[in-house]
């Protein structure tokens, strides 16, 4: 779920989430019985779906691949929903508050080209090879070593991500609603464990589609009402211009010609090559968490159409994520009706209030942080320092919940909170269902028990979900007590996904790529990425070399590190392949472009043609980028 | 969804009808009594009424269209 981490989280703010627990928090909202009823009904429904689908998840094909029966719409919505976690919702709203519409790059250039490429070009090979997983494709193409390396790294990543996500969601629930951490973790983890263990991937997909609808139903009112109050889009622009004295908040590309010209400190080359190519293609075309949803489609045409359908919804997500962040810039108010200014998590941490003493732990550090890192008025800073009642600091990541509390009354607020919980649960279900498949097919079966019966592997899959959830909970608590670990866990994604993309693209589009080259390329790519990360940690000035700019943000460093890891993998595969013996072309049927005869699809009416819809998606994508240039 | 009995869209319809009715009902109560939540903005728009009604109407459409046993 941290596939494409929000800018505010990538900058390390999640790393300070545990610090939020150290001080007393006044919950932002108090739920009424109607809100609680909405949430309870949601939990009842998702668990009931798990029980309902249990009888249809008896074979391994049904349990791990949902029987490959999903329509394009269901696979497409599930594909997008598995990525739409609560942290993404809140993190990107916070990023929009900080950086303006630049944050939209993660939804448009950082997703749409890759999703269309998956549907039009790569899906046929995944689908025709009948692989159960992405590591499974690597086994078919490069052999067992590459599969095991990819499977172990992916399984570890999924479980750790799930744990971190779970803990972060629980912290958010504590800050927003005052719920205790163990309560939030247990109730959501147990619900996910029940419905995925019972119904497998089918249950996960079923719930993801429902969660997608609830996310929209719960979150869409915030931008609608915000726009009404701010006088529409034109009114919003006018107010932001008046408040922020800059129109950079409304331009996607105009100010990316130089690192210092935009608040993100990034350059268009990093956005296009690092985000738009390596990270985006790596995530959307090789991360099994999302690819698994499309592999469950009922035929090749549906599998190709699913990411294309998903791309339209992905392009719409900024409406419920980015827009609330922008609206927060001009609409959020303190209790005394003065404009509210959100601050970074590091400032909130510096001004932490001791739960036992009810006063700021380190007033000096707090005063320095507010003076140097915020534009809070001096009078407000004094109120914070003196502990004036009702005066609090809120972080960027709280932009969306604050907007919800502003507009949503009883019932609607419950629906909004349900949207956040649904976002978390769809992400976690994606993590554990993908983990279960990779563990069973790519680790347990080849390394531990090759001759088990079909029912045995289903049992292993069910148990691995329960064990995976238990380890995730453990990882969540580990994070709570080891503050720095979250930075490293977030970096896991960039360690593995860029090299994986290099290995898969070289394998899928170059017949000459050999098995030893695939394994070595993957390994050296991972080692390169980890080494660059460690280098910058040990010597922070190295960021100038890694990210090509001394003042580059952590996020910009992530983009460039991914690019170098990808290039390393591709170059190693190219060079080693030239010195090793390739497989006969006949063995590459169904795996490699140019060596595969794709099955002929039945003729369909023009309005069901995948190229027509992909072309339309390209037009909408281009129009949006031009409109907000 | 092929071969899974009740279509997923039916479940979604049911959830939307339940949520929509609850929110709509509360909105009507709020409108009639004038008891609006104190810190919520734009209560004059009666959001729960039209949003709850919209969810319920959409849910009803899905329930009817995708009800179990309905011939395609």
Percent of chain A exceeding pLDDT 70 equals 92
Query: Mean pLDDT across the stretch B13-28?
Result: 95
Residue A391: half-sphere exposure toward Cβ, Cα within 13 Å: 18
Better-scored residue on pLDDT, A259 or A166: A166
Residues of chain B with Cβ-Cβ distance to A74 below 8 Å are: 1, 8
What CATH number has the domain bearing residue A325? 1.20.1730.10
For residue A269, being part of any structural domain is answered with yes
For residue A575, being part of any structural domain is answered with no
Bridge partners, residue A23, by sequence: A354
A55-77 pLDDT, tens digit per residue, is 888 888 888 888 888 899 999 99
Same domain flag for A328 and A369: no
CB contact under 8 A, A71 and B1: yes
Same domain flag for A254 and A350: no
Count the residues in chain B.
72
For residue A126, being part of any structural domain is answered with yes
**Complex ipTM > 0.90:** yes
Residues of chain B with Cβ-Cβ distance to A45 below 8 Å are: 11, 15
Domain of residue A374, residue span: 345-393
CB contact under 8 A, A409 and B47: yes
A405-439 pLDDT, tens digit per residue, is 899 999 999 998 888 888 888 888 888 888 999 99
Same domain flag for A302 and A419: yes
For residue A420, being part of any structural domain is answered with yes
Same domain flag for A385 and A445: no
In eight-state DSSP terms, residue A252 is S
Same domain flag for A358 and A245: no
246-285 in A: which are within 8 Å (CB) of B?
none
Tell me what pLDDT residue A8 has: 43
CB contact under 8 A, A213 and B55: no
> Is A407 in the B-facing interface, judged by CB distances under 8 Å?
yes
Of A214, A298, A411, Cβ closest to residue B22: A411
Same domain flag for A328 and A361: no
CB contact under 8 A, A217 and B26: no
Tell me what pLDDT residue A14 has: 45
CB contact under 8 A, B48 and A217: no
> Is A74 in the B-facing interface, judged by CB distances under 8 Å?
yes
Start-to-end C-alpha separation, chain B: 13
Tell me what pLDDT residue A65 has: 85
Better-scored residue on pLDDT, A85 or A17: A85
Of B2, B11, B16, Cβ closest to residue A49: B11
Of B18, B40, B55, Cβ closest to residue A41: B18
Same domain flag for A202 and A92: yes
d(CA A116, CA A305): 9
> Is B42 in the A-facing interface, judged by CB distances under 8 Å?
yes
- The highest-confidence range among A278-282, A438-442, A493-497, by mean pLDDT, is A438-442
For residue A123, being part of any structural domain is answered with yes
Please give the structure tokens belonging to residue B47: 């959001």
Least confident window among A466-470, A544-548, A576-580: A544-548
> Is B4 in the A-facing interface, judged by CB distances under 8 Å?
yes
Least confident window among A235-249, A408-422, A550-564: A550-564
A286-296 pLDDT, tens digit per residue, is 888 888 889 88
Please give the structure tokens belonging to residue A302: 């549906």
Our CA-based measurement puts residue A36 at a distance from the nearest CA of chain B, in whole angstroms, of 12
Tell me what pLDDT residue A5 has: 46
> Is B45 in the A-facing interface, judged by CB distances under 8 Å?
yes
d(CA A63, CA A53): 10
Same domain flag for A424 and A373: no
Tell me what pLDDT residue A12 has: 39
Write the DSSP assignment of A76-90 as a string of letters.
Answer: HHHHHHTT--HHHHH
Sequence-ordered strand ranges (E) for A428-472: none
> Is A405 in the B-facing interface, judged by CB distances under 8 Å?
yes
For residue A568, being part of any structural domain is answered with no
d(CA A7, CA A422): 22
Would you say residue A22 has pLDDT above 80?
no
Q: What is the dihedral of CA A427, A432, A433, A435, to 10 degrees?
A: 120
Same domain flag for A352 and A325: no
Classify residue A482 by burial, with Cβ atoms within 10 Å: 0-12, 13-18, 19+.
exposed
Of A377, A393, A409, the residue at which a domain comes to its end is: A393
Residues of chain B with Cβ-Cβ distance to A222 below 8 Å are: none
Query: In whole numbers, what is the pLDDT of chain A averaged over residues?
Result: 84
Residues of chain B with Cβ-Cβ distance to A228 below 8 Å are: 42, 45
For residue A140, being part of any structural domain is answered with yes
> Is A399 in the B-facing interface, judged by CB distances under 8 Å?
no
Query: In whole numbers, what is the pLDDT of chain B averaged over residues?
Result: 88
The answer to whether A355 and A22 are in contact (CB under 8 A) is yes
Same domain flag for A355 and A466: no
Same domain flag for A270 and A168: yes
Would you say residue B47 has pLDDT above 50?
yes
CB contact under 8 A, B40 and A407: yes
For residue A148, being part of any structural domain is answered with yes
Same domain flag for A360 and A471: no
A305-341 pLDDT, tens digit per residue, is 999 999 999 999 999 989 999 999 889 888 778 888 8
> Is A70 in the B-facing interface, judged by CB distances under 8 Å?
yes
Better-scored residue on pLDDT, B51 or A16: B51
> Is B19 in the A-facing interface, judged by CB distances under 8 Å?
yes
Percent of chain A exceeding pLDDT 90 equals 33
Domain tally, chain A = 2
């Amino acid at each position: 779920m941290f596939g494409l981490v929000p800018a505010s989280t990538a900058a390390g703010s999640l790393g300070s989430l545990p610090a939020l627990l150290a001080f007393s928090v006044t919950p932002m909202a108090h739920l009424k019985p109607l809100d609680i009823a909405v949430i309870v009904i949601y939990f009842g429904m998702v668990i009931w779906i798990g029980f309902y689908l249990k009888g249809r998840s008896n074979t391994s094909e049904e349990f791990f691949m949902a029987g490959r029966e999903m329509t394009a719409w269901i696979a497409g919505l599930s594909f997008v929903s598995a990525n739409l976690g609560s942290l993404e919702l809140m993190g990107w709203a916070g990023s929009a508050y900080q950086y303006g519409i630049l944050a939209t790059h993660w939804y448009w250039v950082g997703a749409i080209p890759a999703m269309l490429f998956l549907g039009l070009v790569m899906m046929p090979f995944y689908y025709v090879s009948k692989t159960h997983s992405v590591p499974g494709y690597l086994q078919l193409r490069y052999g067992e070593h590459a599969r095991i390396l990819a499977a172990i790294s992916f399984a570890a990543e999924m479980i750790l991500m799930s744990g971190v996500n779970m803990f972060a969601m629980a912290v958010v629930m504590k800050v927003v609603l005052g719920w205790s951490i163990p309560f939030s973790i247990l109730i959501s983890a147990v619900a996910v464990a029940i419905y995925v263990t019972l119904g497998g991937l089918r249950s996960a997909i079923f719930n993801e589609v429902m969660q997608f609808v609830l996310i929209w139903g719960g979150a869409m009112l915030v931008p609608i009402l915000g726009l009404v109050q701010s006088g529409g889009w034109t009114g919003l622009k006018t107010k932001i211009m008046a408040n922020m004295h800059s129109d950079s908040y409304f331009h996607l590309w105009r100010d990316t010609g130089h690192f210092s010209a935009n608040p993100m400190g990034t350059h268009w080359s990093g956005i296009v090559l690092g985000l738009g190519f390596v990270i985006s293609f790596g995530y959307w075309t090789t991360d099994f968490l999302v690819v698994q949803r499309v592999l469950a489609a009922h035929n090749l045409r549906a599998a190709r159409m699913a990411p294309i359908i998903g791309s339209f919804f992905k392009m719409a997500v900024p409406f419920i994520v980015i827009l609330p962040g922008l609206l927060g810039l001009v609409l959020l108010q303190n209790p005394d009706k003065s404009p509210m200014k959100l601050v970074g998590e590091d400032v909130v941490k510096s001004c932490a209030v001791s739960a036992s003493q009810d006063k700021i732990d380190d007033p000096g550090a707090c005063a320095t942080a507010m003076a140097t890192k915020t534009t809070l008025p001096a009078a407000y800073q004094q109120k914070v320092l003196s502990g004036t009642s009702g005066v609090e600091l809120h972080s960027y990541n709280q932009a969306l919940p604050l907007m919800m509390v502003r507009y949503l009354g009883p019932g609607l607020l419950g629906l909004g909170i349900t949207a956040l919980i649904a976002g978390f649960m769809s992400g976690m279900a994606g993590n554990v269902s993908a983990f279960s498949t990779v563990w069973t097919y790519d680790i347990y079966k080849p390394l531990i028990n090759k001759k088990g019966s079909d029912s045995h592997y289903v049992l292993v899959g069910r148990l691995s979900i329960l064990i995976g959830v238990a380890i995730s909970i453990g990882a969540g608590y580990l994070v709570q007590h080891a503050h720095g670990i979250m930075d490293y866990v977030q970096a896991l994604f960039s360690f593995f996904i860029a090299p994986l993309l290099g290995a898969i693209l070289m394998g899928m589009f170059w017949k000459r790529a050999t098995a030893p080259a695939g394994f070595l390329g993957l390994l050296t790519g991972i080692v390169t990425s980890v080494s660059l990360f460690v280098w910058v940690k040990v010597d922070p000035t190295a960021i100038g070399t890694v990210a090509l700019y001394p003042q580059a943000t952590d996020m910009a460093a992530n983009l460039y590190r991914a690019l170098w890891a990808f290039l390393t993998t591709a170059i190693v595969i190219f060079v080693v392949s030239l010195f090793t013996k390739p497989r006969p072309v006949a063995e590459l049927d169904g795996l490699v472009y140019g060596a595969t005869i794709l099955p002929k699809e039945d003729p369909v009416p023009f309005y069901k043609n995948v190229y027509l819809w992909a072309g339309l998606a390209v037009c909408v994508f281009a129009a949006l980028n031009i409109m907000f240039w | 969804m092929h071969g899974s009995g009740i279509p997923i869209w039916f479940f979604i319809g049911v959830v939307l009808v339940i949520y929509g009715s609850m929110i709509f009902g509360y909105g009507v109560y709020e409108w009639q009594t004038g008891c609006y939540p104190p810190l919520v903005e734009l209560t004059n728009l009666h959001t729960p009424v039209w949003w709850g009604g919209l969810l319920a109407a959409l849910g009803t459409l899905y329930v009817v269209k995708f009800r179990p046993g309905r011939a395609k």
